[in-house]
Amino acid sequence: MISTTPLADYLVKAGDRLPDEATRVLETLVAEGSMNKEDLSLLSRVKRAVLDHVIMQLYALGLVDVSTEGKSKICSLTRLGDEYLALVEEEKAG
C-alpha cells in the first residue's frame, strides 16, 4: 500500500534535513532577489564550497533555480521556495 504525504508536510520534513546554511541562503534570496553565487555566498555568510552543496540540495527540492549568464551561475528563489519559507514560518509560529 502506498501512503501519501501532503506536500506541505513533505516540504517541512525535507527542510528539517537541510543544513542551517540553507535557511540563510533562502532568506537572502527573498531579501535581495536573484544573484550570482559569489554575492550569495557573501550576503548569506555561507562559505563558497558549502554554498555549492546547499544550492544543489535546494535545486533538487525545487526551491531554487539556477541559470547561467555568461560565466556566472544565477540563483533565484522559485515559487515553491517562497511557499516553503512561508510554511517554515507557520511551523515556527504555531
Q: What's the pLDDT score for residue 92?
A: 77
Using CA atoms, how far apart are residues 77 and 55, in angstroms rounded to an integer? 11
Q: Name all domains of the chain by residue range, CATH numbers in brackets.
A: 7-89 (1.10.10.10)
Q: Residue 13 has what pLDDT?
A: 84
Q: Can you state the angle between helices 48-61 and 37-44, rounded to 10 degrees?
A: 100
Q: What is the pLDDT along the chain (94 residues), one digit of tens a residue?
A: 556 668 778 877 888 899 999 999 999 999 999 999 999 999 999 999 999 999 999 999 999 999 998 888 999 999 999 989 888 888 778 7
Which string of DSSP letters, residue by residue, matches 71-88? TEEEEEE-HHHHHHHHHH
pLDDT tens digit sequence for 38-64: 999 999 999 999 999 999 999 999 999
Measured CA to CA, the distance from residue 70 to residue 86 in angstroms comes to 32
Are residues 86 and 27 in contact, defined by beta-carbon separation less than 8 angstroms? no
Structure confidence at residue 2 (pLDDT): 58
